[in-house]
């Protein structure tokens, strides 16, 4: 939020963005009006030039590298993409650490298993996929909440434990 703008100016900008883009990008947690303005100016509302969200994320420079073998990057130069929209999404992703939403919870989970710059890039990639879906399908963003993330995480951990138990010839039993 720009401290030099009044609430009335923020509201006018918000309405204009919704009209131009066709959807409310600020409904996504961590994306404010300033970020949405950058995205609107760089992308526009028509993303038909990108056949899939993977193409869109690759153009932004947020797609994971494909030159990986055995979990390690292969030697060679990576293509550096400097893009204002990607920079805005990375900035929005870095704010996600303190956000009490599904995106914030998934970002904090990423921070536990990877370094900060990779986690920010991965969260920006998640935001880019959401934006692509919103702009191409015209559907509003629906917040899932931290409870949804924690439930998915619990289910994933339970499935992993069941796989490990089967591999060891054991069977899990729920405690009463």
What is the pTM for the complete model shown?
0.76
Count CB neighbours of 95 within 10 A: 18
User: Where is 69: in which H helix or E strand?
Assistant: strand 68-69
Are the C-beta atoms of 123 and 107 separated by less than 8 Å? yes
Q: Assess contact for 143 and 28: CB atoms under 8 A.
A: no
Task: Give SS3 for 165.
Answer: helix
pLDDT in tens, 97-148: 888 888 888 898 899 988 998 899 999 999 999 999 888 888 888 777 677 7
Residue 124 CB partners (closer than 8 Å, separation 6+):
60, 62, 86, 89, 90, 92, 93
User: Hey, where are the domains in the chain?
Assistant: 7-143, 145-176
Q: 50-97: per-residue pLDDT in tens?
A: 999 999 999 998 887 777 788 787 777 666 778 899 999 999 999 988
């Amino acid at each position: 939020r720009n401290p030099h703008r009044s609430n009335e100016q923020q509201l006018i900008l918000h309405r204009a963005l919704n009209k131009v883009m066709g959807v409310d990008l600020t409904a996504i947690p961590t994306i404010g009006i300033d970020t949405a303005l950058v995205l609107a100016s760089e992308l526009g509302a028509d993303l038909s030039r990108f056949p899939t969200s993977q193409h869109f994320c690759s153009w932004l420079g947020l797609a994971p590298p494909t030159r990986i073998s055995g979990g390690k990057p292969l030697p060679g130069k990576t293509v550096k993409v400097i893009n204002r929209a990607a920079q805005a999404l990375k900035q929005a992703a870095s704010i996600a650490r303190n956000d009490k939403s599904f995106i914030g919870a998934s970002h904090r989970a990423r921070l536990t298993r990877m370094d900060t710059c990779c986690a920010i890039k991965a969260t920006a990639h998640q935001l880019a996929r959401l934006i692509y879906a919103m702009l191409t399908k015209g559907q509003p963003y629906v917040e899932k909440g931290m409870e949804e993330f924690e439930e998915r995480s619990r289910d994933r951990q339970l499935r992993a434990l069941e796989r490990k138990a089967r591999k060891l010839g054991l069977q899990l039993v729920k405690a009463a």
